[in-house]
Amino acid sequence: MQNQGHAERTDFIDTARVYLRAGKGGDGCASFRREKFVPYGGPNGGNGGKGGDIWFEASSNITTLHEIANHPHIRAEQGGPGASKHMSGLKGADILVYVPCGTIVKADGRVTADLKRHGDRFLAARGGRGGRGNTSFKTKFNTAPKISENGEPGQEFTADLELSVLADVGFVGFPNAGKSTLLSAISAARPKIAAYPFTTLSPHLGIVSHKGKSFAAADIPGLIEGAHEGKGLGDLFLKHVLRTKMLVHLVDPAGFGKFKPVESVGIIARELKTYHPELARKQRIIVVSKADLPEAKKVHAALVGKHKKHPVFLISAATGFGVRGLLDYIISLLPKIKEPEIYKPELDEDVSALYKPVKAGFRISAGEDGLMEANSEALSTIIAMTNFNQPDSINRLRRIFKLIGLDKALKKAGVLPGDQIRIAGKNFEWSEHQITPPHKRSKFAYKYQTKTG
């Protein structure tokens, strides 16, 4: 946010919707050892590699979500397929998406992560497991399995990112009050300064060092009466002072437009409160700026008389008058104030289920076209990982369906031989054949036969 250039940055973006798709796992391989003089060489198909994960990582080198908002589709690499001679597939590369410190990750309006400090990480979408090769399916009864799994699909996740700058102190006030001038005087930040309102168009963050202590201060664009209704630049930027420990309210002794300086304190306080009650609760320091102006002393005295609850300072960022005293006061107060908890990541069942292995279980319902449907996350995964080109894999799928109770549930729901059913989006035909044990299986005993898609 430090502005080294001439023009005010306008590429400050603090919200973005991103579409993540983690990598699919690589397919497992079904192959057999074939060598001269080695009869019955046995299965040797390797497993597929794991698909790449997508992580968010907070970095202090980034200050805006601009880049991400312009490239919202993020995909991680697929895992490589397994190969014969027990060769596993390559792991798909993970993707690390760097976000500014203070970025909140939301899913369906709920906070799932709050990346505050440099290096904080969040696994947003998990890559799929690699499919197992036929070596993994070798058993005492089936020493030559012609079964291999496809890779598991990677998780998909639509995330809303929101940046709420992390600073200890927030500067608020009418436009032109001298907020940016103060920030440049006490830190290395260089927000644009000019003698007209709304010079600052985006929040600026500066690190202030004073007497061996340091704190972060945020300068936001000026507020005016009706900011909560969108007047001026509105209250768009107030979220960037929501997480501060205290607010410094700068008052221009010359007033702003028709407003007298003394009036401005109440107007800004109302705007803060309307935006978020937390802002009204915050410790607030009133600071009359531009002490070098002739009317400053009188304004200061009037405010001291009126606001007994808040400390009132008189400073001049231009001459340095009173600035040290203000900083002394801020650093003495900061350690006593706890950081407010505004965004609590909700780790309730639904959200955390996104990041846990899928559970068994399913829903049976009538689809739009009247077909009986069975759905669940687990079923989708099982279907996606079944290699339908291998009759033995289809047989294995039948056994899984029986094992998890799907057969029973469908029968109970009234399915009849010859009926079409749809399991996790794939069509099957129901028939009443007995399930044959694998070593006695016959080509004609498949209970489920793929019809379409």
Site residues (vs Mg ion, CB under 5 A): 180, 199-200
DSSP-assigned letter for residue 62: -
Between 44 and 289, whose beta carbon lies closer to ligand GTP?
289
Binding interface with ligand GTP (CB under 6 A): 173, 175-181, 193-195, 197-200, 221-222, 289-290, 292-293, 316-318
Distances (CA, A) of 310 to 208, 246, 284: 22, 12, 7
The partner residues of 97 in beta bridges, in order of sequence, read: 56
Distances (CA, A) of 214 to 1, 184, 219, 326, 331: 18, 15, 16, 14, 8
In the chain, the amino acid numbered 58 is A
Least Å from the CB of residue 194 to ligand GTP: 6
Between 21 and 249, whose beta carbon lies closer to ligand GTP?
249
Given a contact cutoff of 8 angstroms between Cβ atoms, the answer to whether 244 and 169 are in contact is yes
Residue closest to ligand GTP when measured from CB atoms = 222
Distances (CA, A) of 438 to 131, 156, 397, 401, 445: 21, 35, 12, 15, 11
Least Å from the CB of residue 269 to ligand GTP: 17
Residue 292 touches which of ligand GTP, Mg ion, none (Cβ within 5-8 Å per kind): ligand GTP
Cα dihedral across residues 223, 226, 227, 231: positive or negative: negative
Residue 125 CA to residue 157 CA, distance in Å, equals: 6
Enumerate residues 6+ apart whose C-beta is below 8 A from 426: 383, 450, 453
Least Å from the CB of residue 352 to ligand GTP: 42
Least Å from the CB of residue 291 to ligand GTP: 6
Between 79 and 206, whose beta carbon lies closer to Mg ion?
206
Residue 175 touches which of ligand GTP, Mg ion, none (Cβ within 5-8 Å per kind): ligand GTP
Least Å from the CB of residue 182 to ligand GTP: 7
Between 250 and 415, whose beta carbon lies closer to Mg ion?
250
Between 284 and 398, whose beta carbon lies closer to ligand GTP?
284
Least Å from the CB of residue 196 to ligand GTP: 7
Between 78 and 180, whose beta carbon lies closer to Mg ion?
180
Task: Please tell me whether residue 394 adopts helix, strand or coil conformation.
Answer: helix
Residue 318 touches which of ligand GTP, Mg ion, none (Cβ within 5-8 Å per kind): ligand GTP
